[in-house]
Amino acid sequence: MSNPDAATPRERYRAQVREEIKKHAWEQIAAAGASALSLNAIAKQIGMSGPALYRYFASRDELITELITDAYRSLADTFRARAAAGADLGDLAHTLRAWALDDPQRYFLLYGTPVPGYRAPEDTTRTAAQIMAVLLDACPDEEPPGTPPSPPSPLQSHLGRHRAWAEQHPAPPAALHRALTFWTRLHGVLSLELAGHFTGMGFDPARLYTAEAQTITGQ
Amino acid sequence: MSNPDAATPRERYRAQVREEIKKHAWEQIAAAGASALSLNAIAKQIGMSGPALYRYFASRDELITELITDAYRSLADTFRARAAAGADLGDLAHTLRAWALDDPQRYFLLYGTPVPGYRAPEDTTRTAAQIMAVLLDACPDEEPPGTPPSPPSPLQSHLGRHRAWAEQHPAPPAALHRALTFWTRLHGVLSLELAGHFTGMGFDPARLYTAEAQTITGQ
DNA sequence: TCGTGTTCGTGATACCTTCTAACCAACTTG
DNA sequence: CAAGTTGGTTAGAAGGTATCACGAACACGA
């Protein structure tokens, strides 16, 4: 995030303009998706003419990259805030859906079709890891009641041996499995819903979502 | 699909050129995604100059729409072929992953971030319904052994009452639920894997995928 | 076989886009 | 106050979609 109260007034002005550019960029993205983002149109809306924007963002890709990192931070912050308020996995599932429905194109910017040439900077991967850490923190230590005490599945022992993504976290293999499943199952329902694949099918996607969430939280 | 052996040689030639256009379009899409598809570049590759392509496709959107319907048909055909060969849900899960890995951008064209203004033609929604019908056919009549005979969940009774998408199919609510879960859970793992969200995490996405598939087939 | 009309391909053009280059004004700083 | 940095402009290159007008090739009925 650009520091709004920086030392020199020059930097303050610069941060302010950058923030206004990003504001209009988000409006365009929310309206027509990231692929329809036009630097020219943003410049016109602000009142500048075309190439002036390149004083603030080196390229269209750099602007989009910054929007992506901001979106990641937004999701991580809301997750952390909810977790700090004592949210469990079920609450976080609801939080995720609300965050996605609040701006579907922002969700697609993070978890939708990747831009072929795009390479995620180290910053965003670290934020993504923080999101997973919040999930791992929220995973209960014991299995849900009603689950027979079973030996770790082949997948869980695999996850226990290949846990580069949770190196900093002491979560047991079952928690790794549960956090991954939380992510993939909810993303499965959510992305298909946001993409409109359920429209016309008749049922309520929210019910399917909560049902999937319950398979993770253990009813 | 354009009919290659049509009546007049004029139509044969036309169908042939359309097919060649689509061939190069798929190459571009596989290389850099649908957003990077350029009619100009295709024309140059074929040896025609620019606007000539508009004799065969009214717009870039129309070309992409036809590619989407072709991709849907390809997936439906491979599903039907495997189902006719006696495939069960687990086999279909493996079929889906192979089809997606064969051309990730083709998968994203169907199930990735939607183009905001795009409206799916009736043709593709019907093909999508056929895919679901194959899944419903493959759903076993009885629950997997080990599942206690339970009353239908709230979601299942909801699906039983709102089944516009399976109007033609006599599947019970449990099968509707299972087919939807098949779709959403596998798409969840697959789309995140194809988008590269698992790279650097250390584990093998194929194991997570098969584990999720087993939660649907009942081990 | 000879018009005749449809179809196909072309170049020119309009209007977008991202992005670079050159130039000028304003501000910051020594 | 002089000098250097920064922000903004216009012009232009390169590439994209898409339309138009025109000429050539083809198909077909008389």
Contact assignment for A113 to B108 by CB distance below 8 Å: yes
Three-state secondary structure string covering chain A: CCCCCCCCHHHHHHHHHHHHHHHHHHHHHHHHCHHHCCHHHHHHHHCCCHHHHHHCCCCHHHHHHHHHHHHHHHHHHHHHHHHHCCCCHHHHHHHHHHHHHHCHHHHHHHHCCCCCCCCCCHHHHHHHHHHHHHHHHHCCCCCCCCCCCCCCCHHHHHHHHCCHHHCCCCCCHHHHHHHHHHHHHHHHHHHHHHCCCCCCCCCCHHHHHHHHHHHHHCC
Contact assignment for A155 to B191 by CB distance below 8 Å: no
Domain identity same for B71 and B165 = yes
Domain identity same for B95 and B173 = yes
Separation of B27 CA and C13 C1' (Å): 30
Contact assignment for A108 to B108 by CB distance below 8 Å: no
In-domain check, residue B62: no
Domain identity same for A90 and A4 = no
Domain identity same for B36 and B75 = no
d(Cα A4, Cα A19) in Å, to the nearest integer? 9
In-domain check, residue B180: yes
Separation of A31 CA and C14 C1' (Å): 27
Chain B: closest CA distance from residue A116 (Å): 5
Separation of A50 CA and C21 C1' (Å): 14
Whether A88 contacts A79, CB under 8 Å: no
Domain identity same for B122 and B197 = yes
B13: Cβ contacts below 8 Å, ≥ 6 apart: none
Cβ neighbours of A33 in B, within 8 Å: 113, 115-116
In-domain check, residue B112: yes
> How many residues are recorded in chain A?
219
Domain identity same for A126 and A25 = no
pLDDT in tens, A55-113: 999 999 999 999 999 999 999 999 999 999 999 999 999 999 999 999 999 999 999 99
Mean per-residue pLDDT of chain B: 93
Q: Is the CB of A140 under 7 A from strand D?
A: no
Domain count, chain A: 2
In-domain check, residue B102: yes
Domain identity same for B52 and B116 = no
Separation of B52 CA and C9 C1' (Å): 6
From the CA atom positions of chain B, what is the Rg in Å? 20
Give the closest nucleotide to B48 (alpha carbon vs C1'). C9
A155: Cβ contacts below 8 Å, ≥ 6 apart: A177, B207, B208, B211
Domain containing residue B40: CATH number: 1.10.10
Number of CB atoms found within 10 A of residue A196's CB: 13
In-domain check, residue B140: yes
Nearest to B32 among A31, A116, A189 (CB): A116
Domain identity same for A73 and A170 = yes
Domain of residue B157 covers: 67-217
Contact assignment for A184 to B208 by CB distance below 8 Å: yes
Domain identity same for A91 and A192 = yes
Which residues numbered 27-86 in B keep a CB inside 8 Å of some CB on A? 31-33, 35-36
Report residue B53 as tokens. Answer: 């392509």
Domain identity same for B81 and B156 = yes
Protein-covered nucleotides of chain C (CB closer than 7 Å) are: 7-13, 16-22, 27-29
Domain identity same for B37 and B107 = no
Q: CA nearest B197 in A: which residue?
A: A111
- Show pLDDT as tens, one digit a residue, over chain A (219 residues): 444 455 788 899 999 999 999 999 999 999 999 999 999 999 999 999 999 999 999 999 999 999 999 999 999 999 999 999 999 999 999 999 999 999 999 999 999 999 887 888 999 999 999 999 999 999 987 665 555 567 789 999 999 999 999 999 999 999 999 999 999 999 999 999 999 999 999 999 999 999 999 999 986
pLDDT in tens, B29-69: 999 999 999 999 999 999 999 999 999 999 999 999 999 99
Q: Is the CB of B39 under 7 A from strand D?
A: yes
CA-based nearest residue to A148, from B146, B53, B42, B88: B146
Query: What is the per-residue burial (b if ≥16 Cβ within 10 Å, else e) of B123-150?
Result: ebbebbbbbbbbbbebbeeeeeeeeeee
> How many residues are recorded in chain B?
219
Q: Is the CB of A58 under 7 A from strand D?
A: no
Domain identity same for B115 and B209 = yes
